[in-house]
Structure 1
Amino acid sequence: MSGLREKINRLAEERQERLIEILRELVAFQTVSPPARNTEEAQSCVKSILSGLGFKTEEWELFPGDKIVAGSKQGDASEEYQSLLLNGHIDVVAVGDETQWKYPPFVLTEEDGWLYGRGTADMKGGMASSLFALQLLQELGIKLKGDLFFQSVTGEEAGEAGTKSCIDRGMKADFALVADTSNLEIHGQGGVITGWITIKGKETFHDGLRSRMIHAGGGIIGASAIEKMMKIIEGLQELERHWAVTKTYPNFPFGSTTINPSVIEGGRNAAFIADECKLWVTVHYYPNETYEDVAKEIEEHIIAIAKADPWLKNNLPLFKWGGISMIEEKGEIFPALDVDHNHEALAVLEEQHNAVSEQKAAVSMSPTVTDAGWLGQAGIPTVIYGPGELNEAHAVNEKVRIQQLLEHSKVLAGFIAKWCNTERSNKP
């Protein structure tokens, strides 16, 4: 393998400009989400690259104006050798005030070994280096015995689960690698789910009746849904603090399980007692939990609080969890992802990383979330391994090191060449 690695490394250095060219093409597409619905041209570009690399491609619409592109290349002995799925997202976050940018955000600009532009770190850089790795293998004439799949999804930045749509179509492999921002560390991740907690009174009262609700002998049993939501928020804070001292997980800082009151909506106007209040929460949880279990735990805690309140017990809070889009439904799910430290593919990836970077691969947990959790939830052993530093993701003057893109391509090409030519121990 060392001879092949040397060939890959040498060719990568010689063809470095092609890597930069791919990233330049991808950055130029303004695939900002939200508003989203703007990825068709970018996905056509990815599809064209994949087709040129010998992949059979298919595409479908996630939402109008947003497409998913998937490519597959059948191995010479698919039934007997390991398959691999590469995944990444083509959408990026908004640039904000462009006058604050050193260079135009959608024009790739090189300076002192860095490439500037929106998406360079998150994660068009990872998409470009992955596609470049595939090109290196093609130019070297490396044949694969196992199947190789590539997914270019959209919707990740708005929780729209483009990757889940791939899974729903039956796309699976023996191992998956998501080239999202990880600074060339091998990551798993915690999970995130958003939810709405709604307090809705059975009756609506004029503001002039408030005095009869809050003073002795008033005779009207009523309450402001906004004020009652304050009690719910206090209960969420109590549960969050309880989690902080009772829940831990390796490679996560203590207290990483959080319940964030993100948005609150309530009331009609100043002439009414607020008869409805909604709270949007964002919940982070550990890989040994599921979003269903976490949501259930929150609901049980809040209902217990409500049943101890003389008004809330007759107007119990309502819950709505998750959703297919932050844009369409104001809801999202990112399942957690654990790392199987004993998986054969992880050892192969670590070996390739160590040889190329001359440093031991760090295996840890991401402090953020990606689509990788959907692949893991589908039963596919998965890791996050991509270029880019997390502090550059979503930042003004976002940038990525050229050398890191090259290293990612070298590692990935070597990993594909070895893994997809590894015989399955449990042949069908």
Structure 2
Amino acid sequence: MTDQDARIIAAVEGATDRIVTTLADLIRFPSIVMTDPTQAGPGERQCQEYLKERLERIGFTTDLWDPDGPALLAAYRGRPGAHPGRTFEGRPNLAGTLRGQGGGRSLLLTGHVDVVPPGPPEHWHTDPFEPAVGNGAVQGRGAVDMKGGLACMLMAIEVLRELDIPLRGDVVWGTVVDEEIGGMGALALADRGIRADAGILAEPTGNAIAPICHGILWARVILDGIGGHAELKPNSWDATGPVDAIGLCRQMLDGFDILNRRWLFDPRKAHPLMELPCQIIPTQIKAGEHPASMAGRAEIVIDVQYLPSEKDEFGLGGHVKREVEAHIAAVCQADPYLRQHPARVEWILDADCAEVPADHAFVAAMQDATLRAGLPPRLIGMGAHTDMGLPNGLGRTPTVNFGPGDMALAHQPNERVPVDDLVACTRAIALTIAQWCA
């Protein structure tokens, strides 16, 4: 360990209370992503303004702007991150640059400020937007996903500035909105020309380095039965009905189970860093019109994972869409009624993915920095989707996921991140910046 490393580590340890306070400050902004993407969350702008002020205090030049959703859609329709119906009034992105002395490599620190709604208040032990600190952890909505990571990145830069650590390369900041409903904020950041020689996206990874994430597809599978009295004997199985759409739903769910079992042994669906092969996950079911009537219609919403190696010519999941559609058609062919009245598939979302090679120079630099920070230099796959595809693609910035906390706690009530994780992450990011940008 060098003298500089020791100074950085000691300074981060001494800033533990400030790291916790910074995260608590961020949690207090209820930066909830709204189901209606034309509506601003109640704390999205205020959270970005707080970060803007903190960055400017340590020498960043900043850019806070409301992206133009329709213009982005027109420019990138059919490409990663381009989703219809987005407007960004009151939902700003924030970019910033801390200029280095020149002649060094630049580093992008990026993440999202939006959080999912907290859900029923009775599921929480505390107010989700009033951070609770105790038992060695910070609790509140966004503590894990991903304001803990934002606090670590911000504090890592502040510590380096206070120590007057010389940096030749620029440190670039980019915090976005819209991640939790598709990632158009990240598209706006890349379109703005925000890029660097490498990047860290501080999503929760348990302080492991995740150079790959899944892409995801959301689809609505619609099954039309024929409504009728639930307590009477049906006339027939066919169009004279009634035909129970909930029964059809069971058949379709069985069909997804069959495809999932097949994918468990399909090498195209697996990656050595991923814990599990890609799967189809039913996440929502809607069916029925009346307690005494057979359901005339059922809808199943599915979440389908795909790997960077499966991307189509547009960098999206077109190949996997067609694979899923073909399987749904085959399930329908096996049933006489569905053969005549096949399921309809409506694709809702295609969120892209990316991979930085494990032997990339920045991955090696991060592994070295995490080791010096007292962490195992582990590489893992990010089972969930993150925004890393857009900086890697349009932004031309090789970006990895690295952040504090257990991703399994994301979106849960009583979301919490250990203070030790926050401090260790801040150490590792500070050492990475000092090494990479030198």
**TM-score (normalizing by structure 2):** 0.80
Secondary structure of the corresponding residue to residue 380 of structure 2: strand
Secondary structure of the corresponding residue to residue 373 of structure 2: helix
- 1:190 and 2:214 are equivalent in the alignment: yes
- 1:148 and 2:153 are equivalent in the alignment: no
Q: How does 1:3-18 map to 2 (within 5 A)?
A: 3-18=3-18
Distance 1:207 1:66, change over 3 A: same
- 1:253 and 2:280 are equivalent in the alignment: no
Pick aligned residue for 2:384 from 368, 379, 395 = 368
Point out the more displaced range, 205-214 or 233-242: 205-214
Tell whether the 8 Å contact from 1:33 to 1:158 is kept in structure 2 after alignment.
Answer: yes
Pick aligned residue for 1:37 from 26, 32, 41 = 41
Pick aligned residue for 2:259 from 229, 239, 256 = 239
Cα distance between partner residues in 2 of 1:241 and 1:65: 45
Point out the more displaced range, 299-308 or 206-215: 206-215
Point out the more displaced range, 225-234 or 82-91: 225-234
Which residue in 2 is equivalent to 1:139? 162
Letter in 1 for 2:173: F
Cα distance between partner residues in 2 of 1:404 and 1:411: 11
Distance 1:114 1:302, change over 3 A: closer
Tell whether the 8 Å contact from 1:84 to 1:174 is kept in structure 2 after alignment.
Answer: yes
Secondary structure of the corresponding residue to residue 293 of structure 1: helix
Secondary structure of the corresponding residue to residue 381 of structure 2: strand
Letter in 2 for 1:8: I
Cα distance between partner residues in 2 of 1:315 and 1:27: 49
Tell whether the 8 Å contact from 1:75 to 1:148 is kept in structure 2 after alignment.
Answer: yes
List runs of 5+ in structure 2 lacking aligned partners. Answer: 67-86, 312-316
Which residue in 2 is equivalent to 1:180? 203
Identity within the alignment, %:
29
Cα distance between partner residues in 1 of 2:90 and 2:233: 50
Point out the more displaced range, 44-53 or 245-254: 245-254
Pick aligned residue for 2:426 from 397, 406, 409 = 409
- How big is each residue's C-alpha offset from its partner over 1:382-411, in whole Å with a ceiling of 9 and x where there is no partner? 211111123443444433233332222222
Secondary structure of the corresponding residue to residue 265 of structure 2: helix
Letter in 2 for 1:10: A
Cα distance between partner residues in 2 of 1:370 and 1:350: 20
- How big is each residue's C-alpha offset from its partner over 1:206-263, in whole Å with a ceiling of 9 and x where there is no partner? 8799956538xxx959966555444433322221111112243213334x42212222
Tell whether the 8 Å contact from 1:340 to 1:381 is kept in structure 2 after alignment.
Answer: no
Deviation, structure 1 residue 174: 2.3
Which residue in 1 is equivalent to 2:71? none
Distance 1:296 1:139, change over 3 A: same
- How big is each residue's C-alpha offset from its partner over 1:71-96, in whole Å with a ceiling of 9 and x where there is no partner? 2234443xx54222111122233444
Cα distance between partner residues in 2 of 1:153 and 1:48: 16
Q: How does 1:15-414 map to 2 (within 5 A)?
A: 15-34=15-34, 37-38=41-42, 39-61=44-66, 63-77=88-102, 81-98=104-121, 101-187=124-210, 188-199=212-223, 213-214=236-237, 227-247=247-267, 248-254=270-276, 256-266=277-287, 276-290=297-311, 291-307=317-333, 309-323=335-349, 333-357=350-374, 359-378=375-394, 379-414=396-431
Tell whether the 8 Å contact from 1:72 to 1:147 is kept in structure 2 after alignment.
Answer: yes
Distance 1:303 1:2, change over 3 A: same
Secondary structure of the corresponding residue to residue 354 of structure 2: coil
Tell whether the 8 Å contact from 1:210 to 1:273 is kept in structure 2 after alignment.
Answer: no
Distance 1:224 1:75, change over 3 A: same
Deviation, structure 1 residue 298: 0.5
Cα distance between partner residues in 1 of 2:191 and 2:326: 31
Secondary structure of the corresponding residue to residue 57 of structure 1: strand
Tell whether the 8 Å contact from 1:387 to 1:400 is kept in structure 2 after alignment.
Answer: yes
- How big is each residue's C-alpha offset from its partner over 1:278-306, in whole Å with a ceiling of 9 and x where there is no partner? 32111123443332222111012222343
Cα distance between partner residues in 2 of 1:237 and 1:181: 29
Which residue in 2 is equivalent to 1:326? none
Tell whether the 8 Å contact from 2:8 to 2:431 is kept in structure 1 after alignment.
Answer: yes
Tell whether the 8 Å contact from 1:200 to 1:315 is kept in structure 2 after alignment.
Answer: yes
Which residue in 2 is equivalent to 1:329? none
Which residue in 2 is equivalent to 1:426? none
Deviation, structure 1 residue 133: 0.9
Point out the more displaced range, 147-156 or 311-320: 311-320
Cα distance between partner residues in 1 of 2:346 and 2:47: 34
- How big is each residue's C-alpha offset from its partner over 1:20-57, in whole Å with a ceiling of 9 and x where there is no partner? 33222112112234566221111110111122222222
Letter in 1 for 2:253: I
Letter in 1 for 2:392: G
Secondary structure of the corresponding residue to residue 310 of structure 2: coil
Q: Which has the larger radius of gyration?
A: 1
Secondary structure of the corresponding residue to residue 278 of structure 2: coil
Secondary structure of the corresponding residue to residue 105 of structure 1: coil
Tell whether the 8 Å contact from 2:170 to 2:437 is kept in structure 1 after alignment.
Answer: yes
Deviation, structure 1 residue 185: 0.8
**TM-score (normalizing by structure 1):** 0.81
Distance 1:117 1:221, change over 3 A: closer
Q: How many residues align?
A: 403
Secondary structure of the corresponding residue to residue 122 of structure 1: helix
Deviation, structure 1 residue 123: 1.7
Tell whether the 8 Å contact from 2:216 to 2:352 is kept in structure 1 after alignment.
Answer: yes
